[in-house]
Structure 1
């Protein structure tokens, strides 16, 4: 029985690695706050790193981690940052050099809000950190620049499920993907 299990694991490993296409990507992000977040903070900037495994020419899945920091709006003293740690799935509509796709991220979003103000020579600062589940559907494309390098661009709507109302922002993301 033990040999049969080991043989099955070996066979699955050989199958996946023989057809495998691993990708590692890095994107720069610009976040445009929406909803209640737009009332509190300004534009955000950050980046993400993604690792993907192509199961077929039309589907890939993997993990993503990132960081985005939103600036204060109108000298309010309020800043906000998000660290997403998510699973991601991508469905490609084409197998050509230009590959449009839809994708979805599902996972945890660690958020930190900070408020600061100067009052009678005292710098008062308060911060809070919370982690919530969220989703982020995206529409984008990959464009083959060389045999191993692709340009990746997408628009992603992040919706974090917070208590009173969702925390959300639209991300415009551009970066590069390296295929192994």
Structure 2
């Protein structure tokens, strides 16, 4: 966990350092998106992923190169009832509830292939992925609750497309392949996002 925090902090320091050069002509973007995070591992179902939302802050170092930060949050909930052997009069009944959430905070660098209204781009992200989950089991008399959380480091190559409706407003869509490292294991996800962006400043 400590190493993950150190790596993420170092990444943020580099991003801040890149933001310092520039001047009154700096151009910024704020991108607000809806996101879907689907498992991309063998044996998993892509439809089992959670929905979420996020915000991206971009700073254009040049007309074609941007650096920035992402904050995304995903959550899912589920519940089920159980009833064992009630027909024999010796059964037990109750319920199980489970919830999970993921907060991903990543730094990024992106290259835009065009300066026109339609702008395809590629990029790379890296940062902290904090996952937490809770399970609650109740039989009507007693309740057992357990929770667990983990902080891990991850990276993600990405591709995207922007379309400027006006100089200050447009739409954005992207897809990233997120690889999260944890205790000798890796988890892989495909993140799909779509939303709007607002541009501030002039170049």
TM class, shorter-chain normalised?
A: 0.7 to 0.9
- Structure 1 counterpart of 2:39: 33
Say how many residue pairs are matched. Answer: 167
Deviations 1:99-148, CA, capped at 9 Å, x for gaps: 01112111111111222333464332211111111112211101101110
1:16 is paired with a residue of what secondary structure?
A: coil
Q: CA RMSD in A?
A: 2.7
- Structure 2 counterpart of 1:175: 195
Kindly name which structure, 1 or 2, has the bigger radius of gyration based on alpha carbons: 2
The answer as to 2:147 corresponding to 1:127 is yes
Offset, 1:149: 0.5
Q: Judging changes above 3 Å, is the alpha-carbon distance between structure 1 residues 122 and 175 closer, same or farther for their aligned structure 2 residues?
A: same
Which of 137, 159, 162 is the matching residue for 2:157?
Answer: 137
Q: Judging changes above 3 Å, is the alpha-carbon distance between structure 1 residues 138 and 70 closer, same or farther for their aligned structure 2 residues?
A: farther
Name structure 1 gaps, 5 residues minimum: 1-11
Partners of 1:31 and 1:171 within 8 A in 2: yes
Distance 1:137 1:106 in 2: 9
Name structure 2 gaps, 5 residues minimum: 1-18, 82-95
Partners of 1:42 and 1:71 within 8 A in 2: no
- Structure 1 counterpart of 2:173: 153
Distance 1:135 1:159 in 2: 5
**Greater Cα offset, 147-156 or 78-87:** 78-87
1:158 is paired with a residue of what secondary structure?
A: strand
Which of 24, 35, 43 is the matching residue for 2:30?
Answer: 24
Matches within 5 A, 1:18-167: 18-35=24-41, 38=44, 42-72=48-78, 77-119=97-139, 121-167=141-187
